[in-house]
Chain A
Amino acid sequence: MADRPTSGDGDLAALARSLSEQARRGEQVEVYAARSVHTDVRAYDGEVESVSQAASAGVGVRVVIGGRQGFASAGSLDAVMVADTLADARENAAFATPDEHGGLPAPDGVEGASLDLWDESVLVTPVEAKIELALALERRVRGAGSRIRQVSSADYGDVAWESAVASSTGVLSASRRTSCTLAVSAVAGSGADSHTGVGISAGRGVAHLDLEAAADDAVLRATRLLGAGKGRSTRCTVVLDPRVTATLLGVLGGALSGESVTKNRSMLADRVGERVAATSVTLADDPTDQRAFTAARFDAEGLACRRNELVVGGVLRGFVHDTVSARRAATVSTGSAVRGGYGTTPVAGCRALSLAPGTLSPEEVLESVGDGLYVQSVTGVHSGVSSVSGDFSVGAEGAWIHGGALAAPVREMTVASTLQRMLHDIVFVGADVRWLPGPATGLTLAIADMAVSGQ
């Protein structure tokens, strides 16, 4: 079995289908098969630090017998390993507790969106050209002036990825996509006054990468912090950089997952129909938007992805569901099953969250805020933010906003509130939509009355 993605001639789907057809009487079998090829290049100090080129493939099998689910996976498409995987999943199913809501989806008649997510350039560009991109990225940042002391890494990475889902309940879907990324980390200053800035550019194909923008953004972010100290503790309006907003939306996505909601793990459970946010907030999960890097035709259970309105004018409209969470909530799947790869089972989750943009440019947001704190980057999101309780506390660096413009830089600060309050306290939504790698898009966002801790 070849491990290299082809032009999508369906051999993965054929493998998945033939395995799923081995379902015995009374069994449901779902096979998810995926493979990818990737290239990763890192440049450092004018040289190539590393070049990785590899292919990966694997299969994940779910077997449901009488409402009991078992799962097994293998990091290979080798025929023997694949057959063992089905046997293991079958054996595992025997030990689960029967779930009245369990079981695989049947096709629901929704057509997959017409999306073009494949760019051949990722496969045909010679590795030498990819290496040159990483070197050129490193060069541009290093040459940005004496304030840049170091370029700790400059990376080019790409992946061409294919997957197929087939089930004994009639689902059959195949997907493929490409992506490539430039990422660079710049260090400005020296000694105790050292600061880092990361710049990124992503696209489906090599031609979509904006090397200059990634390099210049890294330089701006690192140098903007020069001279930063720990600021005073206060309460003020906080303006989030688009990337920070995307991180925030990612956490919020956890609370909008049908899995969390139906299992009492979401601060938004039981709140459908209620005002949960400022009226300027309209939030949708839309993997059918071609511009989203996470756009997809089919979800991880093989149902068509679709646009789901979650918050409209500040009112919570609903959640994203996979098949099981939907049954628990007495509704239908929203085509929102996601999975971390062939090694994990599907779970309900957001794939491409975005806020409806407002009308203000980032500069106009700062002018409107007048005085506050601009947060360029945050840390500790996984340890300080909970979509269960809504408690929100993160490390932050950025700059004070004075008189409607950025002023003195700060670092080693925290900003805190609760997600519930923050949603209501959103005062300005920027117009500057940024499509980013990851499950959410970014834009400039201003949130009033956050606790800022420093000295």
Chain B
Amino acid sequence: MAPRTDMLVDADLAQRVLSRALRSGGDFAEIFVEDRRSSGAVLDDGRVEELASARDRGAGIRVLAGDTTGFAHTADLSEQGLLSAAEAAASVAGGGASGAVSLGDPGRAVAASVGRPGDSVPKEEKISLLTRADAAARASGAAVVQVSVSYGDSRRRFLVANSDGVLVTEDQVRTRMAVSVVAAGDTGRQSGSESVAATAGFELFDTVDVDALATTAARRALAKLSARPAPSGTVPVVLAAGSGGILFHEACGHGLEADHVVKDTSVYRGRIGEQVAGSLVTLVDDGQVESQWGTFLVDDEGHPASRNVLIDHGVLVDYLWDAKRARKQGRSSSGNGRRQSYRHLPMVRMTNTFLVDGADDPDEIVAQTPYGVYVAKLGGGQVNTTTGDFVFGTTEAYLIEDGHLTEPLRDANLIGNGPEILTRIDAVAGDFAMTPGTCGKDGQNVPVGCGQPTVRISAVTVGGTAGG
């Protein structure tokens, strides 16, 4: 039994709230209580502009009655506040069975060992990171005209209890830093950025080279000053390791989320067991990868994070599940029920999604590409799960000519179709790397990891302006 000080609300109170939520019917009730503290600092235009701190705490309560979900949230954690939120959430449930709720022993997710949570680190130490990065970026070239560096840390504790008897607490510590650089020259202004983010404390910076982070951001901006427009048309594309597993996140990850599948808005619906990708493709979603940005111990519905193989050597194995969709299918959640905060309903989300290593040599992949685009870094992306059409933007890219990287290219979006692209992956190297990202879905943002080794896609449409 965990000591009471670890609980955001007492187990007895959680039990009373759940019983109230089911008093007028309903099949399932859940209370999610969250306390988040975060702090951040921004250095911009040569000045530490602002330190900020934020505190947010409250509870979200949901009731499932048949296919309908009732939801209410409150910042009032008193018994009265929670009970009235329970009644608001329950207002959609009418009739049906109801009964007393009995919670199990509180399972406590053992917090990953966090060396130095952000709130234990002197602010001077955080600021010195910012000034160091600023100096390194500005020293990268006379054309650097602006540098912005941001640091942020958060500690998110939550308790989730439900009428199935689940009672669990979780404690997540995250730390991030980003550098953004503007360079200016005769050709105008260009920007470059680089970031690091982990489910870890300030000890992250024991292994992260802040100077390298800054010079990488500066290099991206500087290189593009002399960049030529990207090609317009369909060409082979080589993605550098860790440049952006976002391709796989967008091209197939979202389409494998059970809510899209159940609603028939996924191109992967009804295709379990089919060859949906080339045999070089094995895609995994794994919420347990140590200290990655999308990592946690239990998801926001109280289910343990797990490693889920989605595509195995090209064959579609499974989708991603949250509690609501899993319940309906009579199976268990895959640990992918996540929410931005207590103010949001949980839904099916990715954690760390990545393509596993192949056997090719990354240099050879480039050497064997007569003409194409080499993407050293991707920006964001977006997908329409119904059609599978997705885009992703480059933020550092080079032209490949006769097997060599030649000129830098200006930023452009690449567009493709998920199921088609997966069959066009014709080389996968063994140099896996991951990058952090923020995934937006239905208005909610959650931290995710993306990863891939160097891969080549035989044909992708590049949205540049230069004649293909």
Report which A residues bind B (CB closer than 8 A).
Answer: 3, 44-45, 47-58, 69-76, 78, 81, 84-85, 88-89, 92-93, 95-97, 99, 127, 149-150, 152, 187, 192, 194-196, 230, 233, 263-267, 343, 345, 379-380, 382-384, 386, 388-391, 393-395, 397, 411-418, 451-455
Measured CA separation A414–B390 after assembly (Å): 11
Q: Which residues of B contact A57 (CB under 8 A)?
A: 75
CB <8 Å contact, A383 and B392: yes
Report which B residues bind A (CB closer than 8 A).
Answer: 41, 44-58, 66-76, 85, 88, 91-92, 123-124, 127, 145-146, 148, 182, 184, 188-191, 224, 230, 232-234, 263-265, 267, 343, 345, 378-382, 384, 386-387, 389-393, 410-417, 461-466, 468
Among candidates A44, A47, A78, A380, residue contacting B392 with C-beta atoms closer than 8 Å: A380
Known: A379-B391, A416-B232, A455-B461. 16 other contacts (CB 8 A): A50-B345, A56-B75, A56-B343, A74-B56, A92-B123, A97-B48, A150-B264, A196-B386, A263-B45, A264-B189, A380-B393, A382-B379, A388-B182, A388-B189, A389-B224, A412-B389
Q: Which residues of A contact B188 (CB under 8 A)?
A: 267, 389-390
Minimum Cβ distance to chain A for residue B307 (Å): 29
Measured CA separation A343–B52 after assembly (Å): 9
Measured CA separation A43–B55 after assembly (Å): 34
CB <8 Å contact, B411 and A393: yes
CB <8 Å contact, A343 and B182: no
Measured CA separation A194–B48 after assembly (Å): 50
Among candidates B76, B413, B415, B461, residue contacting A3 with C-beta atoms closer than 8 Å: B76
The 7 closest A-B pairs by CB, nearest first: A414-B463, A383-B393, A380-B391, A384-B413, A383-B380, A75-B56, A92-B51
CB <8 Å contact, A384 and B182: no
Measured CA separation A265–B144 after assembly (Å): 11
CB <8 Å contact, A92 and B412: no
CB <8 Å contact, A416 and B393: no
| Nearest CB in chain B to that of A342: its residue | B54
CB <8 Å contact, A412 and B464: no
Q: Which residues of A contact B74 (CB under 8 A)?
A: 3, 54-55
Q: Which residues of B contact A150 (CB under 8 A)?
A: 263-265
CB <8 Å contact, B54 and A343: yes
CB <8 Å contact, A380 and B384: no
CB <8 Å contact, B53 and A384: no
| Nearest CB in chain B to that of A92: its residue | B51
Measured CA separation A108–B309 after assembly (Å): 61
Measured CA separation A92–B38 after assembly (Å): 13
A-B contact pairs, 21 of them (CB 8 A): A44-B263, A47-B67, A53-B71, A54-B72, A69-B50, A72-B52, A97-B48, A187-B386, A196-B384, A233-B234, A380-B392, A380-B393, A380-B415, A383-B392, A389-B190, A393-B413, A395-B391, A412-B389, A418-B465, A451-B463, A453-B463
Q: Which residues of A contact B389 (CB under 8 A)?
A: 379, 395, 397, 411-412
Minimum Cβ distance to chain B for residue A247 (Å): 12
Q: Main SS of the interface on chain B?
A: strand
Q: Which residues of B contact A391 (CB under 8 A)?
A: 410-412
CB <8 Å contact, B75 and A76: yes
| Nearest CB in chain A to that of B122: its residue | A95
Q: Which residues of A contact B393 (CB under 8 A)?
A: 380, 382-384, 393
Measured CA separation A230–B92 after assembly (Å): 45
Among candidates A56, A196, A267, A380, residue contacting B381 with C-beta atoms closer than 8 Å: A380
Minimum Cβ distance to chain B for residue A373 (Å): 13
Measured CA separation A418–B229 after assembly (Å): 10
Q: Which residues of A contact B66 (CB under 8 A)?
A: 47
CB <8 Å contact, B264 and A50: no
Q: Which residues of B contact A75 (CB under 8 A)?
A: 54-58, 75
Among candidates B123, B146, B417, residue contacting A263 with C-beta atoms closer than 8 Å: B146
Measured CA separation A414–B411 after assembly (Å): 13
Given A384-B412, A389-B224, A451-B232, decide whether A47 and B68 contact each other with a Cβ distance below 8 A. Answer: yes
Measured CA separation A44–B325 after assembly (Å): 14
CB <8 Å contact, A50 and B415: no
Q: Which residues of A contact B416 (CB under 8 A)?
A: 412
CB <8 Å contact, B92 and A92: no
Among candidates B52, B381, B461, residue contacting A414 with C-beta atoms closer than 8 Å: B461
CB <8 Å contact, A78 and B182: no
Minimum Cβ distance to chain B for residue A18 (Å): 20
Q: Which residues of A contact B412 (CB under 8 A)?
A: 384, 391, 393, 414, 416
Given A54-B343, A92-B51, A233-B468, decide whether A194 and B189 contact each other with a Cβ distance below 8 A. Answer: no
Minimum Cβ distance to chain A for residue B393 (Å): 3
Measured CA separation A99–B69 after assembly (Å): 50
Measured CA separation A76–B58 after assembly (Å): 9
CB <8 Å contact, B54 and A393: no
Measured CA separation A343–B53 after assembly (Å): 9
Minimum Cβ distance to chain B for residue A11 (Å): 17
Among candidates A44, A95, A395, residue contacting B48 with C-beta atoms closer than 8 Å: A95
Among candidates B54, B76, B146, residue contacting A265 with C-beta atoms closer than 8 Å: B146
CB <8 Å contact, A73 and B52: yes
| Nearest CB in chain B to that of A43: its residue | B68
Given A55-B74, A389-B410, A451-B464, decide whether A152 and B386 contact each other with a Cβ distance below 8 A. Answer: yes
| Nearest CB in chain A to that of B462: its residue | A453
Measured CA separation A414–B391 after assembly (Å): 9
